Amino acid sequence: MWNGADYQQRFDALAASGVDVHGEATFVRAFAPKSVLDAGCGTGRVAIELAAHGIEVVGADLDESMLAHARELAPGITWVRSDLAELDLGRTFDVVVMAGNVPLFTEPGTQDRLVAGVAKHVGSILIAGFSLDRGYSVADYDQHCAQAGLKLAERFATWDRAPFQDGDYAVSVHAS
Ligand SMILES: C[S@@+](CC[C@H](N)C(=O)[O-])C[C@H]1O[C@@H](n2cnc3c(N)ncnc32)[C@H](O)[C@@H]1O
């Protein structure tokens, strides 16, 4: 479904034009985690930036094209190919992050299983950013988090912490 090289190229072009493409990683780093699971890591752009700051990271994704690019960019990081709904790494991470609309790209109707799968790996908090104009609402997401034992702690409109006011994007922080 994905083309990892094309996907990464878009971000490389943005970075080259001076855009800060590390807003998600900066947001995650504010929680000072020692370990992070990048759930739906794609080409690994968030995980790689976190690793560059000394954080232990694992990336997981279902798409082989995205993962192949991640492996090429950062062979030293552990990249796991798995459906997040089935993921079982047998451990937790201080932070689990889903950046880049991950719940919108999973099979429709399976978001509850996706959230349950990632929630198993939450040691402290789950962070997710996704658009709200594509049929999956924050109310749906909060319900799926609650079913997985996670409570809403904070919600913002952007990765740089603009206040959430029922707009079309949300960055949600749920705690165990
Ligand atoms: C738009 S990309 C975001 C990639 C990366 N997080 C980023 O921000 O650049 C969405 C990713 O979610 C992954 N994804 C969606 N549903 C998934 C699932 N159920 N299991 C594993 N990966 C999934 C896709 O394969 C894709 O790589």
Q: What domains lie within the chain, and their CATH numbers?
A: 4-175 (3.40.50.150)
DSSP state of 98: E
- Using CA positions, which residue lies closest to atom 13 of ligand 1? 40
105 lines ligand 1 (CB under 6 A): yes
CA distances to 24, 59, 147, 167 from 72, rounded to whole Å, are 21, 13, 37, 37
Ligand 1: which atom is nearest the Cα of residue 101? Answer: 1
In angstroms, the CA 40 to CA 98 distance is: 6
The pLDDT tens digits for 53-103 are 999 999 999 999 999 999 999 999 999 999 999 999 999 999 999 999 999
**Are 96 and 70 spatial neighbours (Cβ–Cβ below 8 Å)?**
no
What pLDDT score was predicted for residue 89? 98
The pLDDT tens digits for 27-50 are 999 999 999 999 999 999 999 999
